[in-house]
Amino acid sequence: MTQPIANCPNCGAKIVFRWSGSVQTVCEFCKSVLIRTDINLQRVGKVADLPPNSSPIQVGTEGVFGNRSFSVLGRIIYEYEQGNWNEWHFVTIDGTSGWLSDAQLNYAVTFPAQVGILPRECKVGQQYVWDGETYVVSTITKAHYCGVEGELPFKYWDKSDVVFIDLMSRSQKFATFDYSEDPPLLFLGEFVDFDDLKLKNLRTFEGWS
């Protein structure tokens, strides 16, 4: 499949999209946030310096989830009262877009889900059932955008505080309500062990082995 190619409207650098479904990317040279239109790229802002990152995952990391290989194409960084976490955008070998949540050495893989109308608000302990699995609201977190890099499947940069509601099941299934959009989004998946992802092309740094 031919990779979409364009030039950064700010610095002129060549921009190559690794995934045809990408809507937003960041120029590696001038750090401009670029949105794809039908015929060209539109500059909508500039990424500030990203916060220190203690994750070995990076754009370009490859791994396996289930029986499908995937490549990490982008990242959104969120900041909240206890620190920050990464949402790594990846694409599987069959072109499916998903997310690898990386928070304090806890990892979860999720994919967008369509289950009808989601609640506007809920409380810890409330239960929901999808595909025969019972999920219980475990945490409600208010966070805000802290940085972005690489390719994303939607426009996302410089947003204000957002509420995220995490849910868990007894069988290690995981779900998230994402209120960054209206109507809110649902992502379904499961917790994963780092070693089970068989990651390669990881970032090396002092303190990580």
Residue 187 is assigned to a structural domain of this protein: yes
Same domain, 104 and 134: yes
Compute the distance between CA of residue 119 and CA of residue 54 in angstroms, rounded to an integer: 34
Whether 53 is covered by a domain: the verdict is no
- 54 found inside a domain: no
Looking at the predicted structure, is the pLDDT value of residue 208 above 60?
Answer: no
Whether residue 203 lies inside any domain: the answer is no
| 109 shares its domain with 28 | no
Question: Considering the domain boundaries, does residue 208 fall inside one?
Answer: no
Residues 34 and 69 in one domain: no
Look at residue 205 and tell me whether its pLDDT is greater than 90: no
Question: Domain count of the chain?
Answer: 2
- The answer on 106 and 16 residing in a single domain is no
Q: How far is CA 21 from CA 124, 161, 171, in A?
A: 35, 26, 32
What's residue 4's pLDDT?
76
**Are 126 and 66 contained in the same domain?**
yes
**The residue type at 4:** P
111 shares a domain with 26: no
Q: Are residues 30 and 74 in the same domain?
A: no
Same domain, 71 and 132: yes
**Domain match, 70 and 138 both:** yes
How does pLDDT run across 149-161, given as a tens digit for each residue? Answer: 999 998 887 777 8
Per-residue pLDDT band for 65 (boundaries 50, 70, 90) equals very high
Please tell me the distance from the alpha carbon of residue 126 to that of residue 138, in angstroms, as a whole number: 9
Residue 29 within any structural domain of the chain = yes
Asked if 28 and 47 touch (Cβ cutoff 8 Å), the reply is no
With respect to residue 85, please indicate whether it lies within any of the assigned structural domains. yes
**205 domain-assigned:** no
Full residue range of the structural domain in which residue 106 is found: 62-197
* The pLDDT of residue 17 is above 80: yes
Regarding whether 81 and 14 lie in a shared domain, the answer is: no
DSSP state of 19: S
What pTM value is reported for the model? 0.91
For residue 116, what pLDDT is reported?
79
Query: Do residues 76 and 137 both lie within one domain?
Result: yes
pLDDT of 1 reads 46
- Cβ-based neighbours of 48, under 8 Å, separated by 6 or more: 147
Q: 188 and 138 in one domain?
A: yes
